[in-house]
Structure 1
Amino acid sequence: MANFSIADLKALREQLGTGMADTKAALVEADGDVEKATEILRLKGAKGNAKRADRSTSEGLIVSRESDGSTTLIELACETDFVAKNEKFVALADTVADAVAAAGASSADEGLSADAGGKTVADVISEQAATIGEKIELRRVARVEGSHFAVYLHRTSKDLPPQIGVAVAYDGDDAETARAIAQHIAMFDPAYLTADDVPADVLDKEREIVTEISRNEGKPEAALPKIIEGRLNAFLKQVVLVEQAYARDSKVQVKKVLADSGLTVTGFARLKVGA
């Protein structure tokens, strides 16, 4: 019997938007390896949907804190949206963000051990969870260092606290455009700043996948190199910030917007509740 659970099956279906039978068959073929099953589904022509990939039953909020030379984002998660907008939960998130930023933490593990008024953040969360009556966890921490920062917190629902947070570190004087870039990142979720930041193994894996897809489509062997490079470039335009089409004007790339405004992005972080 393949080594996967119903939860694995459900999660992969939600991520890729694939049918029950196809998803189960891929997991069986991959012997429960979710990453391999994802590749199998892609190669068979299964097309994911970005909105489905972002689905999650997790709730919570994103909080930011800026200090000299850095900006910190935290994701504090809970079970229901009712608690996410509860005053006690929001106050807890502020306490946690203060402690995590003061400690200079850059991961959830570091954040949990940070001091919060004589107790660790982990202890404070545990105590409040008992009071509120839901499981609460510091799921993620992101820290960006730089000279100037643009922070954008987005509410996916007007009734809830921010569920997407972006911090952009930049050099330059155009704060308005820097904030617009932060809003762009919130919308388009780039994984890397420049093409040079994409790890070699990620590019190699993508090249392997698009090569097999192209061959399966019956493309002429002589035309494959050009087709593959084209698809790799398309991939980079999806995952690399400066290569993406700008949210406010899809006819230009982000790198042109930055150049025209005299900005250089030196780093960024994006957190989304449950993602």
Structure 2
Amino acid sequence: MAAVTAALIKELRDRTGAGMGDCKKALEAVEGDLDKAIEKLRMDGTTKADKKAGRTAAEGIIALASNAEAVALVEVNSETDFVAKNPEFRALAQSAANAALVHRPKSAEELVALKVGDRTLDELRRELVGKIGENLTIRRVDIVVSGGGPLVTYVHPGDKIAVAVALTAGSVDLAKDLAMHIAAMSPRAVDPASISADIVAAERRIIEAQVAQEQAEDAAAGKKPKPAEIVAKMTEGKVTKFLDEQTLIGQPFVKNDAYGLKSDAKVREVLTKEKATVSQFVRLAVGEGIEKKQTDFAAEVAAAGG
């Protein structure tokens, strides 16, 4: 049995980054064997990660990695914004983005199974959970592939929103402006053809119900009902408006003044004028779709005091 000295504890801490107290306990548990202590700390970290897995992680950052052929965007989440600024957390996110760029996984599940050195990203994540004490998740990955034209990125200050845009034709300046537009306006797809038919059908049903309700209210007020062809045109007009709002080419461009166009000119007009085409874009924002737990701090304090 090796003596658990201060020097041995320091060496274990330097090699693992774990706290001094955890290092001392691990060494004592394995009778001073450094390699076994390292393994124990890893296992303890995994146990802690499993215990914290059910806790909501809706903060975090979007990490990017890019080369001439593609951009990889990865969302990595933490429970608090404080941890999202932690250098080790950010290093994990960047490692995930770098691995995604090389291997181009099709899902977060594929991504976390990739190895960085001798461990998978999920193993690295679990170890960091044990060390930091918060649930951490590698939630989403997207790859934007070059379309033959400019391939640009935009990251909003704070790394909470990131965009990658690939053009098949057009200038780098236009691509950068489009990336900023996408960050601000959150289009769902490039054009109507890129939106799922199921989404369009669901929206059409909602619009038809709204139009029918308007017709019923008019009838109740003694107004003459609109002819069927007018109702059909109203419905199609609302569907078209929905598609314009949801697609990049249908939205009014936020930087029309820079291209000599009217203030309400749409992106499709800018693309036509600049002889440009968008092949793909991805916009990721931290925490999209995650239901955040509403915390009643006053109740928590009262409960703690009682």
**TM-score, scaled relative to structure 1:** 0.74
Helix, strand or coil at the partner of 1:242:
coil
* Residues 242-272 of structure 1, C-alpha deviations (whole Å, 9 max, x = no match): 1111122341111111222222110111110
Paired letter, 1:151: T
Give the unaligned 5+ runs of structure 2: 1-55, 219-224, 257-262, 289-306
Helix, strand or coil at the partner of 2:135:
coil
Q: 1:253 aligns with which of 235, 250, 266?
A: 266
Match of 2:53 in 1: none
TM alignment of 1:150-169, pairs within 5 A: 150-155=152-157, 161-169=158-166
- Report whether the alignment pairs 1:180 with 2:193: no
Match of 1:123 in 2: 123
CA contact (8 A) 1:103 1:115 kept: no
Q: Distance in 1 between matches of 2:58 and 2:126?
A: 18
How has the CA–CA distance of structure 1 residues 106 and 71 changed in structure 2, closer, same or farther, with 3 Å as cutoff?
farther
Q: Distance in 1 between matches of 2:86 and 2:276?
A: 39
Q: 1:189 aligns with which of 175, 186, 191?
A: 186
Paired letter, 1:259: T
Helix, strand or coil at the partner of 1:227:
helix
Q: 2:275 aligns with which of 256, 262, 266?
A: 262
CA contact (8 A) 1:242 1:254 kept: yes
Match of 2:71 in 1: 71
How far is 1:172 from its partner? 2.5
Q: Distance in 1 between matches of 2:170 and 2:137?
A: 37
Helix, strand or coil at the partner of 2:188:
coil
How far is 1:71 from its partner? 0.9
* Residues 7-45 of structure 1, C-alpha deviations (whole Å, 9 max, x = no match): xxxxxxxxxxxxxxxxxxxxxxxxxxxxxxxxxxxxxxx
How has the CA–CA distance of structure 1 residues 191 and 256 changed in structure 2, closer, same or farther, with 3 Å as cutoff?
same
Helix, strand or coil at the partner of 1:251:
coil
Match of 1:201 in 2: 198
Percent identity, aligned pairs only, is 33
How far is 1:181 from its partner? 0.3
Q: Distance in 1 between matches of 2:126 and 2:92?
A: 11
Paired letter, 2:199: V
How far is 1:100 from its partner? 2.0
- Report whether the alignment pairs 1:213 with 2:210: yes
Q: Distance in 2 between matches of 1:92 and 1:208?
A: 44
How far is 1:221 from its partner? 4.4
TM alignment of 1:1-275, pairs within 5 A: 58-146=58-146, 147=148, 148-155=150-157, 161-218=158-215, 220-222=225-227, 223-249=230-256, 250-275=263-288
Helix, strand or coil at the partner of 2:128:
helix
Q: Which has the higher strand share?
A: 1
Q: Distance in 1 between matches of 2:90 and 2:194?
A: 35
How has the CA–CA distance of structure 1 residues 80 and 175 changed in structure 2, closer, same or farther, with 3 Å as cutoff?
same
CA contact (8 A) 1:166 1:270 kept: yes
Helix, strand or coil at the partner of 1:134:
coil
Q: What is the aligned residue count?
A: 215
How far is 1:191 from its partner? 1.0
How far is 1:213 from its partner? 0.4
Helix, strand or coil at the partner of 2:249:
helix
Q: Distance in 2 between matches of 1:68 and 1:115?
A: 23
Give the unaligned 5+ runs of structure 1: 1-55, 156-160
Q: Distance in 1 between matches of 2:105 and 2:164?
A: 15
Helix, strand or coil at the partner of 1:267:
strand
Helix, strand or coil at the partner of 2:189:
coil
How far is 1:199 from its partner? 2.1
**TM-score, scaled relative to structure 2:** 0.67
RMSD value over aligned CA atoms? 1.6
How far is 1:193 from its partner? 1.0
CA contact (8 A) 2:152 2:164 kept: yes
CA contact (8 A) 2:57 2:136 kept: no
How far is 1:187 from its partner? 1.0
How far is 1:205 from its partner? 1.4
